[in-house]
A and B are shown apart, each in its own frame.
Chain A
Amino acid sequence: MLNFLLRRRGRSRLHWTDWASYAYLLLGLLVMFGPVLWLVMSSFKTESALSQFPPTFLPYSQKTAMVAGHEQPLPLFTVKDEQGRSRELAQVRRIGIVATMVDPKQPDTEIRVGINERKPVNELKFASGNYTELFGKFAFGTYLWNSVFITVVATLITLLINSMAAFALSKYQFTGQKTVFVMIIATLMIPPTIILVPAFLVVSGMGLLNNLWGVILPAVATPTGVFLLRQYMLTIPDELLEAARMDNASEWRIYWKIVLPLAAPAMAVLAIFSFMWRWNDFLWPLIVLSKSEHFTLQLALNSFQGELNTQWHYLLAMTVITLVPITIVFTFLQKYIATGIAGAGVK
């Protein structure tokens, strides 16, 4: 029975185990992508469409009509009257179980209709306003900039100092080298929580509270990065370095012009990881940044989910925007990420 789990099938005819595998994969697709897809579709719904139950997949929005005597457009419903004919009525207001409606053609007579006797008239409508209004209502551009700044700068610094450390640890033998390596790896074992309060104190002592650098600097010395790069640099033949030294190249030149370019694939993987980590950072920025103009996208999202817990349409749109960059990185660089993890995993 566990046949299908074990062996690769090379036959051209599909075995039932192949069907089972594909079924599992399709289920996986649904489970993994489904929620995200649902999020995206929901983000295009208008506020009123969001409160409809049961929810629809496609963003339907209720048709509205301008009725004389009312400033705002009124939502349209189909209502069956006593003779069984259906009419389209516009709703003026609804409290409890009674809706007050008017016929758009005869706006003066108000008709009371029970809420169970009416059905909304829907049309397919993508409420892109959710997105555009975001930039106007909230300082969204600022949050985006903060996230981008932190991510890009932190990644650049990470690449630099991690590769320098990895270079030193792989291509040199100096006293205390092993200790340094152990120290760097030891930080992997430190749960960030135990240094929350004192790290906060250190950062504030340096005057970096509420400063994007206060988020960047503590995060740049990643032990995983050093480890990853070191593993890769170990495979660079020493003869290349010796040859360069004989040509009287400085060590910095060797590092910069020889080792770094050769380590490019590992650097790319680290860059992607760093991008992902910094873009998604939450707890540390939550503690360091308290002025809302310095919020990153993740922080803004979190603070608005508290304030706007009844304004899901903005929240959903914001969430989608927050996950777009990482999705782009994913689609184009998926292969690198996978090979990077595979390499790191086979320690």
Chain B
Amino acid sequence: MSVISSALGFCFNLFEPVFRLGQKWLGGSRIGWLFVVPNLLVISVFSFLPIAVNLVYAVTGGVNLLPTERPFTGADNFSILLQCRDYTDLQTCRTDIFWRAIFNTVKFSLAQVALMLFFSLVTALVLNRKIIGRGFWRGVFFYPVLLSPVVVALIWKWLLQSQGVFNAGLVAMGSQPMEWLLDSSWAFFWVVVVSIWAHMGFYTLILLAGLQAIPRDVYEAAEMDAAKPFRVLSRITLPLLMPNLIVVLVLVMIRAVQTFDEVFVLTGGGPGSATTFIVQYIYQTGFAEQIHLYGLAAAASLMLAIGLMALTLAQLRLSKAGEAGKTRK
């Protein structure tokens, strides 16, 4: 313990003179800048600078990594990505895998939002009841959230493999074992399930916190009015929970659109391109294939960012409406 405190003391003494000096120069409130600078520096170097450079990549072509060796191509990359002879038939697109990835991502995100909201809500409602050992049960649902995506994917890969537990169950019930991850529809199904399994606990906690913030007298008043349970749910609980529901909706959406890790390890984007999502497309185009099309990857990622920002702005609008609804009470 004393080692730690002396080390802490050492660190303290290390920086104090720097700050005293800064205080003298910058005075009163501007000293705040000194505190904020390290964080800002890291963000600028590793987030903002790359965004700027990304724009450079998006408008250049070739396969070289260094921007100085890349020829300027203008909006070429965007047109390559977006060009389709017939927009109803994915096959006619120049980068059909890009379009498939977008389509898969949209499908996935919608499924995720709907199912995740549903299951988190139900679980939060159940956990909100007076049950023994709520802390324990809460932990049960939250545990998978802590596991890394690689671990999550491997666990499920092990369960789903042709000689795994699930197939054993099928055989026991008399049917044939299935190659779960080699069938396009099933692979997609399991990707959705695994994603929900791995992240549900997080959102359950948010909703649970929201539920517990609802004062009890609201319910007691409803009980005294002999209100029907369904009405209580739809007229009282859900509206009061709306801010949290919207937070969850946005978070789930953002995460779903950016899903990569667990899907990549579980299916590798396969079979074919059935579970290839947009982030994997970017990774594949820019990093994995031996002919690195950095320009296309950058252009695709830019479009992803714009789409995501649009979605988030839509959420802000919704949340304002939700706030307005709350004050109506």
Contacts and interface: CB of A to CB of B under 8 A. Distances in A.
- Do A and B have CB atoms closer than 8 angstroms in the complex? yes
Interface of A: 1-10, 18, 21-22, 24-25, 28-29, 31-33, 35-36, 38-39, 42, 51-55, 160-162, 164-165, 167-169, 171-175, 177, 180, 183-184, 187, 189-199, 201-203, 217-218, 220-221, 226, 250-253, 255-257, 276, 279-280, 282-283, 287, 298, 301-302, 305, 312, 315-316, 319, 322-323, 326-327, 329-330, 334-335, 337-338, 341-343, 345-347
A28 B283 contact: no
Interface string B82-122: 00000000000000000000000000000000000000001
B164 interface: yes
13 contacts: A5-B122, A8-B219, A162-B39, A164-B36, A174-B30, A194-B54, A203-B46, A251-B19, A251-B35, A252-B19, A305-B150, A342-B209, A347-B247
Interface stretch (B72-80, B181-189, B303-311): B303-311
Given A5-B125, A221-B46, A252 B142 contact: no
A189 B255 CA distance: 11
A176 to B, nearest CB: 8
Given A164-B39, A193-B304, A338-B138, A33 B143 contact: yes
Interface in B112-154: 122-123, 125-131, 135, 137-144, 146-151, 154
Interface string B234-255: 0001000001100110000010
Interface in B31-75: 31-36, 38-40, 42-43, 45-54, 56-57, 65-67
Contacts of B247: 345, 347
Interface of B: 12, 15-16, 18-20, 23, 29-36, 38-40, 42-43, 45-54, 56-57, 65-67, 122-123, 125-131, 135, 137-144, 146-151, 154-159, 163-165, 167-168, 171-172, 197, 201-202, 205-206, 208-210, 213, 216, 219, 223, 229-230, 232-233, 237, 243-244, 247-248, 254, 257-258, 260-261, 265, 279, 282-283, 286-287, 294, 297-298, 301-302, 304-305, 308-309, 312
Contacts of A172: 29, 31-32, 35
Contacts of B18: 252
A187 B223 CA distance: 46
A1 B230 CA distance: 8
A55 B169 CA distance: 10
A21 B257 CA distance: 33
A31 B198 CA distance: 11
A253 B16 contact: yes
A194 B304 contact: yes
Given A3-B229, A5-B126, A345-B210, A180 B149 contact: no
A191 B127 CA distance: 32
**Helix, strand, loop or mixed for chain A's interface?**
helix
Given A21-B126, A220-B42, A341-B205, 14 more contacts: A1-B230, A5-B233, A8-B216, A165-B35, A189-B308, A194-B304, A202-B50, A217-B46, A226-B39, A252-B15, A283-B260, A312-B158, A326-B146, A342-B205
Contacts of B213: 346
Contacts of B147: 36, 280, 323, 326
B92 to A, nearest CB: 26
B129 A8 contact: yes
B129 A54 contact: no
A31 B202 CA distance: 16
A330 B146 contact: yes
A25 B201 CA distance: 13
B53 A202 contact: yes
A159 B18 CA distance: 19
B57 A197 contact: yes
